[in-house]
Amino acid sequence: MARKKDQDPGGLVVVDKPAGFTSHDVVAKLRGMARTRRVGHAGTLDPMATGVLVVATGQATRLLGHLALTEKEYTATVRLGQSTVTDDAEGEVTAAHGASDVSDEALAAGVGKLTGVIRQVPSKVSAVKVDGKRSYQRVREGEDVELAAREITVSAFEVHEVRRGVRAADGTEVTDADVSVVCSSGTYVRALARDLGEFLGTGGHLTALRRTRVGPYGLMDARSLEELQSEADGAGISLLPLAEAAAAAFPRWDVDEEAARLIGNGVQLRMPERESGHGLGGAAQGPEPVAVFGPGGRLVALVEDRQGRAKSLAVFAQL
């Protein structure tokens, strides 16, 4: 099977993003470490946030848009008693009602209301586009932006520790709650903090956020920028190969040489019937991408089900 000469297969690296770095900052550093311009990331993290940032090089960057749509996990600290313009600790405090006596029952009720399939209004300083311009850009220019609610899924929202009577920098007596969240793509955890505070009548925002998982990739897979720089200074950064990355993230469909050739050239073959598990045909019916592999474990394409036939999303090998 011939591969286009100008295409580097690349691979994935899971970075434990430090606080104070933008996702773009991390990509810029990885470009230098990996000695390639073709680098991207799946799912932006705010500068305040830390944790799992999936970065890809070469052809593996074509997986990123699909990886960004997978389920994510976070740990966070919600501060009840204050609201900020950004819904996190980096923004100016806009209201300080205080919250020294939030009961466990009230907190559980608020968390329950924000669990399941819900409609959420993104934070005003999010990257959501409004008439072609990012919402955060409009806010910085002084506009009062109103964003539409969107449907998201919060599979789990749990409270682990509550600290009452905490004094904020301005003297306001607040309550801090350490939480964990499992949610769908497009969920803003800081908006959950905002809405929890609104439900309780106290106001709320995030003071800490750490992403612990993106799809199948978690903190156990992540390396710090210092560790990656050390690798780059030695034998070079170790990447998860493109085929292994696709196999880990998406249901797998193994095909013979002829089917691989046809799919690689855009022919929409009939997909296998759904089977249990994450293997052959395991999710071949529905919107989730499926990774197609030819003989020898060659990644041929990502496809999706279109009325029972394989519609190519990205082709990685042509015969």
Q: Which residues are catalytic?
A: 46
Pairing mode, strands 82-84 and 93-96 = antiparallel
Cα–Cα nearest to 302, from 240, 249, 234: 249
CA-based torsion, 206, 210, 211, 213: positive or negative: negative
Distance CA 87, CA 121 (A): 12
Distance CA 177, CA 114 (A): 15
Distance CA 18, CA 16 (A): 6
Distance CA 35, CA 232 (A): 9
Cα–Cα nearest to 181, from 49, 277, 6: 49
Distance CA 10, CA 57 (A): 5
Show Cβ contacts of residue 21 under 8 Å, excluding neighbours closer than 6 positions.
Answer: 47, 225
* CA distances to 54, 56, 111, 183, 196 from 115, in Å: 26, 32, 6, 9, 11
Cβ pair 194, 204 in contact under 8 A: yes
Buried b or exposed e, range 6-41, using 16+ CB within 10 angstroms: eebbbbbbbbbbeeebebeebbebbeebbeeeebbb
